Amino acid sequence: MNLDEKIGQMTQYAGGWDLTGPPKSRGAHKKVEKIKKGHVGSLLNVTSVKEIRAAQKLVMENSRLKIPMMFAFDVIHGFKTIFPIPLAESASWDLDIIKKSAAIAAKEASAAGLNWTFAPMVDVSRDARWGRVMESAGEDPYLNAVVGVARVKGFQGDDLSKETTIAACAKHFAGYGFAEAGRDYNTVNVGEFELHNAILPPFKAVAKAGVATFMNAFNDIDGIPATGHKMLQRDILKGDWDWNGFVVSDWGSIGEMQIHGFAKNKKQAAKIALHAGSDMDMESHAYEMHLKALIKENKVSEENLNNAVKRILRVKFQLGLFDDPYKYCNNKREKNSIYTAKHI
């Protein structure tokens, strides 16, 4: 792989333009050309077999290496067959039915062409003013851990290469639910004891259970944005826990390190994020704009870059995308496996 292709694997775009017709805007045209070159590793918010097949064809029929893309979506409490919100599910204390609801969501999402969900959220959250309490299992670390593991096993099953399973994503790493005054994106001030005994245990549990991906958080912890937090991502998650998946940023969170006052510009933010262990850049465009220059200037480690790409490719292999890039693009499944009487 050349450097542009490696950085491409670390770049995620959002959909929102017509993939089955000619690009109608300059921005869409540029994205299509990047996909054709194999310079995009993943798309989110593209949600039909028709659209996903069209996008995958762009890279498979035009790029040099023909590395398939992953397709992601927020499948939080069901895809088309809707289940109770995660907080309500956790109140049942029924891990079997929670696992089953995630499995049904995975079956439906995969039938629509998707192979990756941004769930489960395992943030311990104790301030009702924080609106995203509804997406977690509440205030208890143990309950968040066992519910999180149940949902990971439901989404991923016993074999990630099956066409009815999808990659899960543990989020938001870490401390997002402890945002000051319940204000989203706000600062988090916790001590080592609370971090390791209240916040991290659910993440450790899902990492041990084999969750394919992690998503970092928008907040900072004691002044360090989670996206640029080396101790969390590289030392604890990838080091102490020996986890081998990849970390995706939350939407634009690499660039938002500027707003935190932690990076002076997006180029420095890209440098900090890669050093800290953030493998894939969701929609801040920091990696695609600046990593090549940072490598040439010897300001970021090529070993870290190669490690990030290796982690991303490993998950794609586990999903079976290299065997069949279109394995999730089955029109018959999309027609017959979504919002069925059995699921309802």
Catalytic residues: 250
Three-state SS letters, 275-324? HHCCCEEECCCHHHHHHHHHHHCCCCCHHHHHHHHHHHHHHHHHHCCCCC
**DSSP state letter for 12:** E
Distance, in Å, from the CA atom of 51 to the CA atom of 95, rounded to the nearest integer, reads 34
Give Cβ neighbours of residue 127 (< 8 Å, ≥ 6 apart).
133, 177, 178, 179, 181, 182
Distance, in Å, from the CA atom of 88 to the CA atom of 107, rounded to the nearest integer, reads 21
Tokens of 280: 């894939």
Distance, in Å, from the CA atom of 314 to the CA atom of 237, rounded to the nearest integer, reads 17
**CB of 185 within 8 A of CB of 218?**
yes
Helix, strand, coil: what percent of the chain each, to 5?
A: 45, 10, 45
H-run or E-run covering 8:
helix 3-9
From residue 104, alpha-carbon distances to 59, 92, 138, 189, 339 in Å are: 30, 18, 23, 38, 10
Give Cβ neighbours of residue 241 (< 8 Å, ≥ 6 apart).
204, 207, 208
Tokens of 87: 């907080």
Tokens of 191: 């001590």
Residue 91: strand, helix, or coil: coil
Tokens of 44: 């989110």
**CB of 269 within 8 A of CB of 263?**
yes
